[in-house]
């Protein structure tokens, strides 16, 4: 798993991070940084003082916003990169200068025109840092080992199948491993496996051709559906976009968090069990 999210519990997954990326790309590209300030060192763990971070931003123009795994990478005209790791509580927000700061506002980046970008993180699980443009892989070594990215680069079911059949690994373990496919955590893994009709503990190299195709279709479809509804916000892991609006995919979840409710497929209660220390939700129809 990427260091950008925790190994246990709930952290933001690919649809949430990609939703933020697309919004920021529209909102801040071409903006010039007038000033930057940090409230504390909570999200600046790579620095000894706040000025060492903020001084690298002032006067720079935003030239692009991209995503590398679950990291948001903001390209600057100075040939430096502003890297945002959201963790399980970090939230970039687009604000007017006059908007009052909400609790947990850690970093404020003011532009010469059109407001600010703020980083809100009440729990301090996120992180911001600036690195040279050609030094990302050194600064964040885990990006070199990232696996398939079903949003950034479309993958065929045959390509995915070839990789699956090489793995003597349980499916949920595999699809939540960023070195196999990036950005899938507990919530979307359960949804993908339900859609594919496959159990969380099924061994990857036992899948038939038909099952591989179903898993591929479920993975790609779930990611795009979740982005269509702008991510998932649930009580256990609230998520809001850069405008402070919650993601709407939570009402479309079919198994995750629905223990005891009737499965839409079998009309029998959805089950849950602990798998690798966290609850896993599934239906009797998954094999």
Same domain, 163 and 137: no
Among residues 144, 179, 198, the one where a domain terminates is 144
What percent of the chain shows pLDDT beyond 90? 95
Q: pLDDT tens-digit profile of 217-233?
A: 999 999 999 999 999 99
Spatial distance between the Cα atoms of 144 and 136, rounded to a whole number of angstroms: 9
CATH number, domain containing residue 103: 3.20.190.10
Query: What does the pLDDT read at residue 10?
Result: 80
For 202-240, give the secondary structure using H, E and C. CEHHHCCHHHHHHHHHHHHHHHHHHHHCCCCCECCECCE
The answer as to whether 251 is a domain residue is yes
Strands (E), the chain: 33-38, 62-68, 71-76, 80-85, 91-95, 105-111, 116-120, 127-132, 271-275, 278-282
Average pLDDT over residues 115-139: 96
- Could you list the residue range(s) of the whole structural domain that residue 202 is in? 157-282
CA pair distance 202, 286, nearest whole angstrom: 9
The pLDDT value recorded for residue 9 is 52
Same domain for 165 and 270, yes or no, is yes
pLDDT in tens, 190-208: 999 999 999 999 999 999 9
Q: What is the CATH number of the domain that holds 269?
A: 1.10.8.50
Cα atoms in the 13 Å half-sphere on the side-chain side of 273: 8
What is the token pair recorded at 265?
A: 């497929």
pTM as predicted: 0.94
Average pLDDT of the residues in 70-82? 98
Residue 7 resides in a domain:
no
Same domain, 104 and 213: no
How far, rounded to the nearest angstrom, does the alpha carbon of residue 87 sit from its chain's CA centroid? 9
């Amino acid at each position: 798993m990427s260091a950008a999210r925790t190994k246990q519990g709930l952290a933001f997954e690919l649809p949430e991070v990609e939703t933020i990326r697309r919004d920021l790309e529209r909102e801040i590209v071409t903006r010039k940084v007038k000033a930057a300030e940090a409230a504390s060192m909570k999200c600046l763990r790579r620095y000894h003082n706040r000025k060492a971070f903020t001084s690298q931003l002032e006067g720079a123009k935003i030239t692009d916003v991209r995503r590398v795994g679950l990291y948001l990478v903001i390209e600057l005209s100075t040939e430096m990169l502003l890297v945002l790791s959201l963790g399980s509580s970090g939230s970039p927000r687009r604000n007017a200068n006059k908007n009052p700061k909400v609790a947990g506002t850690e970093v404020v980046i003011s532009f010469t025109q059109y407001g600010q970008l703020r980083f809100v993180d009440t729990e301090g699980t996120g992180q911001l840092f600036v690195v040279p443009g050609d030094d990302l892989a050194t600064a964040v070594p885990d990006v070199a080992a990232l696996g398939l990215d079903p949003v950034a680069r479309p993958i065929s079911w045959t390509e995915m199948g070839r990789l699956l059949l090489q793995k003597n690994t349980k499916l949920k373990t595999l699809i939540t491993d960023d070195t196999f496919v990036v950005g899938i955590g507990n919530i979307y893994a359960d949804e993908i496996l339900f859609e594919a009709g496959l159990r969380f503990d099924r061994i990857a190299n036992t899948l038939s051709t038909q099952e591989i195709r179903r898993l591929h279709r479920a993975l790609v479809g779930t990611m795009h559906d979740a982005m269509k509804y702008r991510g998932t916000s649930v009580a256990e892991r609230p998520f809001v976009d850069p405008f402070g609006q919650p993601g709407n995919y939570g009402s479309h979840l079919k198994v995750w968090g629905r223990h005891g409710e009737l499965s839409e497929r079998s009309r029998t209660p959805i089950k849950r069990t602990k798998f690798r220390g966290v609850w896993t939700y599934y239906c009797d129809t998954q094999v």
